[in-house]
Structure 1
Amino acid sequence: MKRFLLLVSMALFTTDWHGELTCYTERKISLFCSWLPVPCAPKTTTYTIILKWDKISKPFERTTASTSITIERKFLYMNRAVIIWVSANYSHESCVKTKNISIIPSKAEKCAIHSISAHQLSNKLIIKWDVPKKSMQYELQYKEARPTSSQWILVPTANDAVNVTVSDLNSTSSYVIQLRCLPSEDNHCVCVWSKEILVPHKLSDKPTISANETIEISPGRINVFLQWQITQSRNVIGYYVNIERIPNSCNDRPERINVTERRVHLNLSMAYYRFNISAYNEAGESPQITYVVPDFTTTVLPGQITAIPQGNNTVVTWTPEYIPKCFVVDWGTGKEDMHMKIITKPMGNFTLDHLQPYKLYKIMVHASDICECESFMRHEGTFGVTHFYSVQGVPRTGPATVKISNIMKHSAIVKWTEVPAEDCLGFLQEYRINYTDTMKNLSLAVAVNSSTTCYLLTGLKEKTAYKVQISGVTTAGEGAQSRSQFFTTLKYDKGEFEGIVAALCLGIISTMFFLPIICSLMLRRSRKLCWPTLPNPRDSSAIQDVARIIPRANQGPTSRLLLQTQTDNDITSLHVIEEDSKASLKLQPFIEDTEDNSECDAGQSESAGGSPDICPSLLKIPEKATATERDTRAPLLSDYTSMEFSQKAMLSLALNLPPWAAHPHMEGKLNNRPGKVEQHTLFTPQDYVKQSQVVFTPTGPTLMEETSLS
């Protein structure tokens, strides 16, 4: 209820503006409403449209920033009357609204106006539209297109009128018009202004070429296709295409073609032709656009022509395949400097005089079966084309631009632009590239084809400065050179320096890896050369003396094992072999009882599982020994002993051994001597006779304890 009162208060206390609110249904599925913007309102102005339905308390409203809105079918009551207005809020205190309109959506259809056309003729506007199905009256409004702030001017029309003319207008101005019907009781449709239509005062814009193509359709004949566009195409009635042959020696008016489409196809000879295209309407003709058919190059023509300079004249000759009614000869230095000569006699030569030296001339010979100027465009065909100089000179300029790129250690690429045709003064035969070593002032030159604008210089020296100049060469000689270009070759090619660094690093790493191995091999080799292999201890006289001093019969299994000859002469480590008590070498002093010895002999013969070299009675070692016996030791040997020193050591050992050990036959006599010291010797043979390999130990409490101590 409060919402409704607020809307009523807005409708009562706000001012109206001429908003031209219009609403109509579109295909009975939606309601479209539009209105004019509030004058001088800011861009942030918002509009709220309100629909108050008959007998429905809650109105529909929607806010938008646009000046039009479409309301969907689901929010409409198609058969109920509705009051519609729009309010504009552009400040907190300012609010305006349109006048209220009342419609029934199901009957509010738009009145259609079809095919409106308008054009300006001098100072008048002529507007036409189609005849409506029902009798209607229309009204027109117009204004100047510029400025945009100009006001609309309303023009009434007669009933059932289908055109209107507005006079006394500015002939230099363009106008914008709108048309709509006037509502009546017989018509229940909604009258809406049509879209704005621009009526130019005149076709002021000229057409622009949008596409062109030239193709050969037969030897000596080409097809020219042109397409254009214009910004005022809506007001254009048609187009004029004027075709003019160059040169126009007949002084005839150009042939005019009238077309309605914006394109044209024409079959012509290879002569120069000029096209002038313009648009027209009731107001007049637009400015023309000019198009000249470009040179068309082909290698297939019906005949060949030659031009031979002879003094100040040039003789042109040709041999036709057939004799036409006439030949048309065109020659000149360009499109704007062409001359034409019609030859009706059956001749195959023509002499040109008063030619300028150092100028490039183009000559074309055309054949036609109809010798009338107005018929050449349709009937002539090109017989042959050639270029010539009456007098040739040397190029007066070199290439305007010379660039050096891809500079390497021994090469560089030179690029240049062509010498302009007007500066060649003759047929260009080749380009000459001069490059000079600035340090040694040594110049070299190379010639390349005239169609080439790029060359690779090779054989250059590294880290050297060069100067490059290029000139054109004609049959008359070499022309002017281009500006000097300087460059310096590189010391290393691309990637070369990186490769050297990589190879150096790889060499250092390889050296660090293989150097220890090489040194080790060299050290071993030098050791073999400087220190020969030591002799086999088996052949040592010291070991042989030991074997004689201690008979093999008195050695136990362990000592015999230790004294076995070693086949390897390169053993340098000390072997300490521990045996159990039964296999250990134990030496027992001789005793007087001969029965024990006999028992030993018997035991040796009867023993099957044990060693035959060990006597059981000899395995018993006295628990006590004299002090003199304990102190009796063999002298220590040096680390590696010579033969002489080894013999002395063996001699000292023999002196300290008991007599029965050195001489078994004295066993009985020694055992009968009281207080005799018992001494035991243990040998541990190795490859080399060392101090640690020959151990002499006195008899102690037990031989096992002495072995453990050693």
Structure 2
Amino acid sequence: MKNSLLAAIILFAADSCNYLSWDFPFCKQLSDWDNELTCYKELNEDLTCTWLPAPSAPNSINYTLFLKWERITKLFRRNTSSPSITIERKNLFMNRSASIWIAVNYAHASCVKGKNISVTPRKAGKCLTPSNIQAHQITKQLVIKWNLSTTPTEYELRYREALTEASQWTRVPIESNAINITVSNATSSYIIQLRCITKDGLHCVCIWSKEILVPHKLMNKPRISYNATTEISPGRRSVLLKWEVMQSENTIGYYIAVERIPNSCRNSPNRIILKDREVLLNISMAYYRINISAYNNAGESPQTIYTIPDFSATDLPGQINVKPHGTDAVVTWNPEYSPKCFVVDWGTRKEDMRMKIVATTAGNFTLDNINPYKLYKIMVHASDVCQCESFRGHEKTFGVTHFYLLEGVPRIGPTNITILNITKHSAFVKWSEISADDCMGFLQGYKIKYIDSSMNKFLAASINSSTTSYRLTGLKEKTIYRVEISGFTKAGEGSPSFSPQFSTLKYEKGEFEGLMTGLCFSMMFALVFAPMTCILMLKRLKISCWSSVPNPRKSSAIQDMSTWKPISKSLLQTLPDNDTTSLYVIEHDEKASLKLEHFTDGIEDSKHDIRESEEPSNNIGINIIHKEIPEKTVTSEKDGIISFTVPLLSDYTSMECSQKALMSLTVKLPARAAHPRLEMELSSKPTQTEHQVLFAPQDYLKQSQVVLLPPRPTLMEKVNLN
């Protein structure tokens, strides 16, 4: 027994330590915060907890609900930003008691907590609240009524002012079985709530009813949301108005007061009572003012005043004529029918309109004390009611006109002159029209002038008074202008108004971009084609000034063998050392092999077997067909000089072509040459001999270097040629 008790004490101490560790030690208890934390079970067995917001707390505040179950160490917690939270059934132990409290986390990291409550979910059902609660105000009294409950229950009431969010609740106890309560000294709008009072043995939770607003007075006036005016017949129109109100659920109806302007029957009642938030009126073309207010048992809201705007009638039954007569004006008209009376309205504006009932059918009326240079509006209405009664449902407008007793010129020009869409040669001008008070007469139109930077003034146009914009044309590019606009009446032109200075553009829209695009393309064209043109011109200049080196393949040296001329050995010896002298002509048999040995400083460098190609080459101008040279080609042989005709027609020819050409000649060759660096080995046979021409290995040979050497009896000789 002692061991069990000791274990229970240890467990309780452990739970207490855990409880204290979970209960934020830095959160202090707020003594003045009666949060009225209440938790109750819904029909779906979820647990809902509600509480009052923390005092002096901002709108964006975080609450943390802590729930500590009995004999369970784990602490349940949930965060929310509203003063209520619902815990789902899956997180509840229905038959286990729980301790619940609320902590408030402020933005500056401080924390406060409210009072703890103990709840067993199975026993926390919601008690029945009073049903059909109704409340209203009468003179300085707040009256609340509700239906009687089947079970005798005590209730309590709390209320606070509706206009102050931070106002404190005031509680009022209610006797058992009461069905109403009256609160005295009610001087404002209030929010009320009712709930039952918990008794011993009552296994349910009493919660407050929903908040009910009881306005002391409808303090917000209606707001017009829609209006429309339509002409329904000559001289009559319909006006449709719709509006909205705040706290419409507390409004019983609306008062509509229709007032004619002017109205000589001030005391005539003309009030309409409506339940809907709209009204349709059929009235004449006269000025009317409509007052709209909401009402309930507590009183009437402030009025919304709506003045019906002027309506330009397109078809009126008659015409009105006005003629000045000194300081008076005589108004005449011709009625189509004879009503009981006419009603004449006249004045310069709505506020100073005057009204006169003319009970005669003569069709004339004299207006006295008319001021000059002021615009008057005159309206004549026909009516079958001529006493101080409402004219709203009876009168019909006969005619409307405007007149000046004496016209003058406008004292100011138009206002708000604006220059728009400025281009190279034009600009668009807008302005506001001259008011009727400043026109001093019937405005006939506007004169528009513009002044350039040289102070030259030009008249642009004269336009009618209904136009308030104009496009100036014919302006000079890149020039500063000012616009002068004045109005004119029958009496003449009035004072002008000036616009701010503006400057026309140098280029039209897109013109500058086009020029830049063309310039860019021109520069690109020049950069691309100019080098090509220069290259072509340089090539032509090179051809004209410097002849090109001929192509050996196209040489004509061997094309005509009949044009060869004799060349002596003495000519070859007179050439300078740096000139190319590499031509040898050697006589040997046709079938003998011709060998050329090239020695450099006594060392054999290479041996070349040179033989005549038996197959013709495909290269044009290079192929030389082997044939015998006629004996007449050789003209003389004296002093070791062999003379024959050589067809060298150009300055240079290739070594190979010249060698092949000369080897085909039947000319005897000398045994040795003068050049010390070259050696030729000749082989002779008893057959027919021919002349062979050997050259040093080089690409080109001058014609002056071609030498034909005389034949020698021996076939193998070493020849040195300088």
TM, length-normalised to structure 2: 0.68
Q: Tell me what 1:21 maps to.
A: 37
Aligned-pair CA distance for 1:428: 1.6
Cα 1:417/1:50, change in 2 over 3 Å:
same
Kept after mapping to 1: 8 A contact 2:327/2:369: yes
CA 1:699/1:75 → structure 2, altered by over 3 Å: closer, same or farther?
Answer: same
Aligned 8 A contact 1:398 1:480 in 2: yes
Determine if the alignment matches structure 1 residue 140 to structure 2 residue 157: yes
Structure 2 residue matching 1:502: 3-state secondary structure: helix
Alignment of 1:57-72 (within 5 A): 61-65=76-80, 66-72=82-88
Q: 2:501 aligns to what SS in structure 1?
A: strand
Given the alignment, which residue of 185, 191, 207 partners 1:192? Answer: 207
CA shift for structure 1 position 187:
6.9
Match of 2:218 among 199, 203, 213: 203
Q: Judge conservation of contact 1:679–1:699 (CA < 8 Å) in 2.
A: no
Report whether the alignment pairs 1:221 with 2:221.
no
The 1:456–1:157 alpha-carbon spacing in structure 2 relative to 1, beyond 3 Å, is same
Match of 2:147 in 1: 130
Q: CA deviation at 1:694?
A: 12
Aligned: 1:75 with 2:100? no
Higher share in strand: 2
Q: Which residue of 2 aligns with 1:441?
A: 456
The match for 2:179 among 152, 155, 162 is 162
1:398 Cα deviation (Å)? 0.8
Q: CA deviation at 1:277?
A: 2.2
How far, CA to CA, are the matches of 1:396 and 1:93 in structure 2? 72
Superposition pairs of residues 619-630 of structure 1, within 5 angstroms: 628-630=640-642
SS at match of 1:336: helix
- Asked if the contact 1:629/1:679 (under 8 Å) is kept, the reply is no
CA distance in 2, matches of 1:458, 1:16: 80
* 351 and 97 in structure 1: CA distance in 2 versus 1, 3 angstrom threshold: closer
**Structure 2 CA distance, aligned partners of 1:636 and 1:344?**
143
Of the three residues 584, 591, 596, the one matched with 2:626 is 584
Q: CA deviation at 1:165?
A: 0.7
Give the CA deviation at 1:302.
2.9
Cα distance in 1 for partners of 2:416, 2:360 equals 50
What displacement does 1:466 show?
A: 1.8
- Partner SS state of residue 131, structure 2: coil
Q: Deviations over 1:159-185 (max 9, x none)?
A: 222211112x363x4443221123457
- Alpha-carbon contact 1:437-1:466 (below 8 Å) kept: yes
Task: Pick closer, same or farther for the CA change 1:101–1:497 going to 2, 3 Å.
Answer: closer
Note if contact 1:331-1:361 (Cα within 8 Å) is conserved in structure 2.
yes
Q: Distance between the aligned counterparts of 1:40 and 1:490, measured in 2?
A: 64
Equivalence map 1:171-182=2 (5 Å) = 171=187, 173-182=188-197
Distance, in Å, in 2 between the alignment partners of 1:193 and 1:85 is 19
* 1:419–1:587 Cα change, 3 Å: same
CA 1:196–1:253: 2 relative to 1, 3 Å: same
In structure 2, what residue type is equivalent to 1:34? T
Whether contact under 8 Å (2:159, 2:170) holds in the other structure is yes
* 1:46-445 correspondence to structure 2 within 5 Å: 46-52=64-70, 61-65=76-80, 66-76=82-92, 80=95, 82-86=97-101, 88=103, 97-102=115-120, 104=122, 108-145=125-162, 148-167=165-184, 169=185, 171=187, 173-183=188-198, 189-439=204-454, 441-445=456-460
Counterpart code for 1:20? E
Indicate how the Cα distance of structure 1 residues 63 and 375 shifts in structure 2: closer, same or farther if over 3 A, else same. closer
Q: Which amino acid aligns with 1:208?
A: R
Report the secondary structure of 1:376's partner residue: coil
Letter in 1 for 2:341: C
Residue 10 of structure 1: how far off its partner (Å): 7.7
In the alignment, which residue of structure 2 is the partner of 1:458? 473
- The change in CA–CA distance for 1:5 and 1:298 in structure 2 (over 3 A counts) is farther
CA distance in 1, matches of 2:251, 2:523: 86
With over 3 angstroms needed to count, the CA separation of the structure-2 counterparts of 1:518 and 1:473, relative to structure 1, is farther
Q: Do the aligned residues in 2 keep the contact of 1:634 with 1:697 (CA within 8 Å)?
A: no
> Given the superposition, is the C-alpha separation of residues 28 and 396 from structure 1 closer, same or farther in structure 2, using an over 3 Å criterion?
same
Structure holding more helix per residue: 1
Retained in 1: the 8 A contact 2:130–2:149? yes
Q: For 1:287-328, what per-residue CA distance to the aligned partner results, in whole angstroms no more than 9, with x for missing partners?
A: 322211111123123333343445544343434333323222
Which whole-Å CA distance do the structure 2 matches of 1:204 and 1:257 have between them? Answer: 21
CA drift of 1:351 comes to 3.4
Alpha carbons of structure 1 residues 59 and 160: separation in structure 2 relative to 1, 3 Å:
farther
Alpha-carbon deviations, 1:121-160, whole Å to 9, x = none? 3432222223445443321123445665554332122222
Shift in alpha-carbon separation, 1:263–1:498, aligned structure 2, 3 A: closer
SS state at 1:213 partner? strand
Secondary structure of 1:480's counterpart equals strand
Q: State the secondary structure of the residue aligned to 1:401.
A: strand
Amino acid paired to 1:71: I
Taking the aligned partners of 2:57 and 2:479, their CA distance within structure 1 comes to 76
* Change in CA separation of 1:111 and 1:286 when aligned onto 2, cut-off 3 Å: same
1:305–1:384 contact (8 Å) kept in structure 2: yes
- What SS does structure 2 have at the residue aligned with 1:427? coil
1:648 counterpart residue number: none
Matched-pair contact (CA < 8 Å) for 2:268–2:390: no
For residue 96 of structure 1, report the CA deviation from its aligned partner.
5.8
1:366, 1:473 → 2: CA distance?
33
Query: Contact conserved, 2:62 with 2:79, CA < 8 A, in 1?
Result: no
Return the letter of the residue paired with 1:119. Answer: H
Please give the residue correspondences for 1:560-571 in structure 2 after superposition, counting only pairs within 5 Å: none
Q: Per the alignment, in what secondary structure is the counterpart of residue 191 of structure 1?
A: coil
Q: 1:410 to 1:132 in 2, by over 3 A?
A: same
AA matched with 2:118: N
**Deviation digits for residues 207-252 of structure 1 (CA, Å, limit 9, x no counterpart):** 3323322222333222222233333444433332221111112233
CA deviation map 1:326-363 (0-9, x unaligned) = 22222211111112222333333433332221212222
User: SS of 1:274's equivalent?
Assistant: strand
Q: Where does residue 568 of structure 2 map in the other structure?
A: none
Aligned residues: 580
Q: What is the distance in 1 between the residues matched to 2:375 and 2:52?
A: 69
Corresponding position of 1:490? 505
Structure 1 residue 507, shift from structure 2 partner: 4.3
Residue aligned with 1:422, SS: helix
Look up the equivalent residue of 1:69 and give its one-letter code: I
CA distance in structure 2 between the aligned counterparts of 1:699 and 1:403, rounded to whole angstroms: 110
Taking the aligned partners of 2:181 and 2:252, their CA distance within structure 1 comes to 20
| Residues 295, 301 of structure 2: 8 Å contact kept | yes
CA distance in 2, matches of 1:578, 1:216: 116
**Cα pair distance change 1:309/1:60, threshold 3 Å:** same
Deviates more, 1:311-320 or 1:429-438: 311-320
Q: Percentage identity across aligned positions?
A: 49
Q: In 2, are the aligned partners of 1:679 and 1:698 still within 8 Å (CA)?
A: no
Give yes or no for contact 1:305–1:316 (8 Å, CA) kept in 2. Answer: yes
